[in-house]
C-alpha cells in the first residue's frame, strides 16, 4: 500500500493539522516564498515519489493567493512523481460563479476546475458546494462531502418543539429539507432576489413560521446580508427567535457586527472549513476534520466515500433498482 503524504498551504493549517491527527500521519512541511515581483514559489519538503499526496487548501481570502499556492503545490507534486494527487478544498469559493447570468461574464467555477486538473490534480475532495452543478465542471473524480449531519448533531437532544428550519432562499431548500428531516421538524424558505453581492430582498416566506423558533441554515455566510434580511422578515411574520447555522462561516466585511448585534439571534454555529474570524467569541464551531480524514482514508483504501452519509443525505443513497420494462 502506498504511503499517504499530506501538505497544507497557508490558508488553514489548523484544519490540516487536525485532519492529520485523525489520520495518524504527520503534516509534511511546505516552503512558500514570495519574490520581490510578487510571484510565489512553492517547495514541498517531503518525498512524494509514488505516494498518494493530499493537499489541503480552502479558497479563502486572499483567495487568489491561496488558489495560486494550491496550483503550485499540485504542480510540484506532479513534478515529484506523486502516484496520485488529491486537492482537498474544504471551501471552493468559485462555486458561486456557476452560470452565465449576464452578458460577457466568465464562469469562474469551471475555469478554476480546469486550472486544477491542468496543474495535475487527479481528484478533488470538497464540501458543500454553493451550486451542486459545479461538481460537473471537473473532468476528474470529485468527492462532495456534506456537513448537515455534523450540524444536526449540534441541535439533537434539545427541545425542538415549535422549531422550524428555514432556508434563506429556494435554491438551498432541498438541503434545508434534508436537515429538517434529520431533526424531525418542519421546513420553510425565503423567496430571495439578489440586487448586489451584499444586497438582497426577501419578499416572502414559504412555510409556517409564526410563533416558532427558527434554525436558519445556509451553506455559506459572507457579509451576512441575506441572513439579516431573512431574520427581519421572520420577525415580521411572528417568529420568536433564531439560531443561525452554516457550513462555511466566512463572516466578511460587516458580517460579525451584523450577527452579534441582531436581537433575534440566539446563537451562531459554523464548521471549521474556513479559519475562525476575529472578534466573534460567541461563534460556536464544530469540526469536520474527522469527516475529511475518514474520506481521505477511504479514498486511499479504495472504499466507498458516499457510505459516510448513509441516513444523512439521500443524494448519497445506494443506486436505485432498474425499472421493469
In angstroms, what CA-CA distances link 284 with 124, 197, 279? 28, 26, 13
DSSP assignment of 4-35, as one string? Answer: EEEEE-SS-HHHHHHHHHHHT-PEEPEEEEE-
Q: What is the spatial distance between Cα 181 and Cα 222, in angstroms, rounded to a whole number?
A: 26
Is 192 a catalytic site residue?
Answer: yes
Q: Parallel, antiparallel, or unpaired for β 40-44 and 30-34?
A: antiparallel
72 cis-preceded (ω within 30 degrees of 0): no
Q: What is the spatial distance between Cα 224 and Cα 241, in angstroms, rounded to a whole number?
A: 17
Q: Are the C-beta atoms of 95 and 142 separated by less than 8 Å?
A: no
Q: What is the spatial distance between Cα 24 and Cα 296, in angstroms, rounded to a whole number?
A: 12
Of the listed 99, 174, 192, 322, which one is catalytic? 192
Residue 324 phi, psi dihedral angles, 5° rounding: -70, 145
- For the chain, count helices (H), then strands (E): 8, 15
Q: What is the spatial distance between Cα 316 and Cα 322, in angstroms, rounded to a whole number?
A: 17
Q: What is the spatial distance between Cα 294 and Cα 19, in angstroms, rounded to a whole number?
A: 9
Alpha-carbon Rg for the chain in angstroms: 20
Sorted by sequence, the CB contacts under 8 Å of residue 174 that are 6+ apart come out as none
The H or E element that residue 81 is part of is none
Q: What is the spatial distance between Cα 54 and Cα 123, in angstroms, rounded to a whole number?
A: 9
Shortest CA distance to 167 belongs to which of 158, 155, 176? Answer: 176
Q: The C-alpha cell of 91 is what?
A: 471551501
Instruction: Enumerate the active-site residues.
Output: 192
Amino acid at each position: 500500500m502506498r504511503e499517504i503524504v499530506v501538505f497544507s498551504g497557508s490558508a488553514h493549517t489548523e484544519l490540516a493539522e487536525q485532519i492529520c491527527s485523525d489520520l495518524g500521519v504527520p503534516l509534511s512541511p511546505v516552503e512558500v516564498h514570495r519574490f520581490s515581483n510578487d510571484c510565489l514559489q512553492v517547495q514541498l519538503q517531503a518525498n512524494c515519489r509514488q505516494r498518494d499526496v493530499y493537499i489541503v487548501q480552502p479558497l479563502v481570502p486572499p483567495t487568489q493567493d491561496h488558489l495560486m499556492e494550491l496550483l503550485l503545490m499540485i504542480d510540484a507534486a506532479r513534478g515529484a512523481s506523486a502516484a496520485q494527487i488529491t486537492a482537498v478544498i474544504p471551501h471552493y469559493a468559485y462555486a458561486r460563479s456557476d452560470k452565465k447570468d449576464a452578458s460577457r461574464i466568465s464562469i469562474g467555477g469551471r475555469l478554476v476546475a480546469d486550472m486544477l486538473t491542468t496543474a495535475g490534480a487527479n481528484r478533488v475532495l470538497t464540501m458543500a458546494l454553493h451550486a451542486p452543478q459545479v461538481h460537473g465542471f471537473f473532468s476528474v473524480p470529485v468527492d462532495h462531502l456534506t456537513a448537515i449531519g455534523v450540524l444536526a448533531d449540534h441541535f439533537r437532544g434539545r427541545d425542538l418543539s415549535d422549531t422550524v428550519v428555514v432556508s434563506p432562499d429556494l435554491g438551498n431548500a432541498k438541503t434545508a429539507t434534508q436537515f429538517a428531516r434529520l431533526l424531525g421538524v418542519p421546513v420553510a424558505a425565503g423567496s430571495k432576489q439578489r440586487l448586489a453581492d451584499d444586497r438582497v430582498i426577501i419578499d416572502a416566506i414559504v412555510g409556517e413560521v409564526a410563533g416558532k423558533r427558527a434554525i436558519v441554515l445556509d451553506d455559506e455566510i459572507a457579509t451576512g446580508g441575506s441572513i439579516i434580511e431573512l431574520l427581519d422578515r421572520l420577525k415580521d411574520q411572528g417568529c420568536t427567535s433564531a439560531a443561525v447555522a452554516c457550513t462555511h462561516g466566512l463572516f466578511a466585511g460587516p458580517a460579525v457586527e451584523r450577527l452579534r448585534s441582531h436581537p433575534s439571534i440566539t446563537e451562531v454555529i459554523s464548521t471549521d472549513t474556513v479559519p475562525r474570524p476575529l472578534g466573534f467569541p460567541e461563534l460556536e464551531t464544530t469540526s469536520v476534520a474527522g469527516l475529511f480524514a475518514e474520506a481521505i482514508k477511504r479514498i486511499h483504501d479504495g472504499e466507498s466515500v458516499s457510505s459516510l452519509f448513509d441516513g444523512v443525505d439521500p443524494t448519497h443513497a445506494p443506486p436505485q433498482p432498474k425499472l421493469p420494462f
